[in-house]
Amino acid sequence: MDDPTRDGGTPPSDDEIHQRFIEAIIDQRLLPGTKLVEDKLGQAFGVSRTRVRQVLIRLAQEQVVTLEPNKGATVAQPSIEDAREVFEARALVEAVLVGRFIERATPADLRALEACIEAEEEARREGDQAAALRLSGRFHLMIAEVAGHQTFARMLAMLISRTSLILMSYAPLARSERQAFAAVPARWVDACRCNAHRGVLTALREARRPGAGLSDVATWLGESQQRMREHLADMEAGLCFNLPESPSADVVDLFSAPSPAARRPRKAPRGSGSKG
């Protein structure tokens, strides 16, 4: 049987399996270095090894999984150079996306960004660290969607997934906090903060203010891009490159359970959904 099912249900599609992996990485439930055994993953998803392998190949192309001959697949462990390159790439890509957002954004788009920040703040207040992480990445992706640059939007989605791996590898944590399947450590969440997003949103609103002259728009365009670059630079500056290795999660337990995004009743901002 090519695609075994669990409990008589319909097995997930390859895109759905891929999305579950990306969610687990963005939520920081699937840690760098975790061994990804095809048989166990097939058991967790109720699909064949062949289908699992195709998803792992796709994830490897996105640089969030490492495939090695005779060793199999593991969640990627970014090097220090990888971390530097990802933040450099994000600074370049997101500056362009911010500029295009200002050209295209409607009042509804600005309200959607506000709603995303508010949902992130609520998640933090409730101690829902995984939701806060997802919404933090979602803020950046919503800007990309409105910007309408499909190539950069796809690039940013992959860069956000890699950013999660970098934070798990290098965000400064006490050893006691680095436990597989424990709640997401608060300092991982704090790496991308709501106040930085609010600062970017304030500048975007000024650039889109009705009646703003060309000079004002140009000034706030530059300010928006600068605030985004500073936000990313602050995240990079907070990394610590001499941390102990994190333990790994049990992938059968991780993927046999429903996705947290599917379980959560919280009202999502317009256009929300996992992708970075």
242-260 tens-digit pLDDT: 755 555 556 666 666 666 6
Query: Is 141 buried (19+), middle (13-18) or exposed (0-12) by CB count in 10 A?
Result: buried
247, 178 Cβ separation under 8 angstroms = yes
According to the model, what pLDDT value does residue 216 have?
A: 92
Tokens describing residue 79: 């090097």
Could you tell me which of 186, 230, 226, 183 has the C-alpha nearest to residue 207? 226
Phi, psi of 239 (to 5 degrees): -75, 150
Question: 7 Cβ partners below 8 Å, 6+ apart?
Answer: none
According to the model, what pLDDT value does residue 181 have?
A: 36
Phi, psi of 65 (to 5 degrees): -130, 145
According to the model, what pLDDT value does residue 249 have?
A: 59
**What is the per-residue pLDDT across 59-108, written as a single tens digit (0 to 9) for each?**
999 999 999 998 899 999 999 999 999 999 999 999 999 999 999 999 99
According to the model, what pLDDT value does residue 4 have?
A: 46
Q: SS in 3 state form for 255-274?
A: HHCCCHHHHCCCCCCCCCCC
Q: Kindly tell me if the per-residue pLDDT of 274 is higher than 60.
A: no
Q: Kindly tell me if the per-residue pLDDT of 158 is higher than 90.
A: yes
pTM (two decimals): 0.79
205, 109 Cβ separation under 8 angstroms = no
Write down the mean pLDDT value for the chain.
84
According to the model, what pLDDT value does residue 185 have?
A: 52
Strand pairing class (65-68; 35-36): unpaired
Planar angle of CA 200, 103, 110, nearest 5 degrees = 45
Its sign, for the CA torsion 257, 258, 260, 263, is: negative
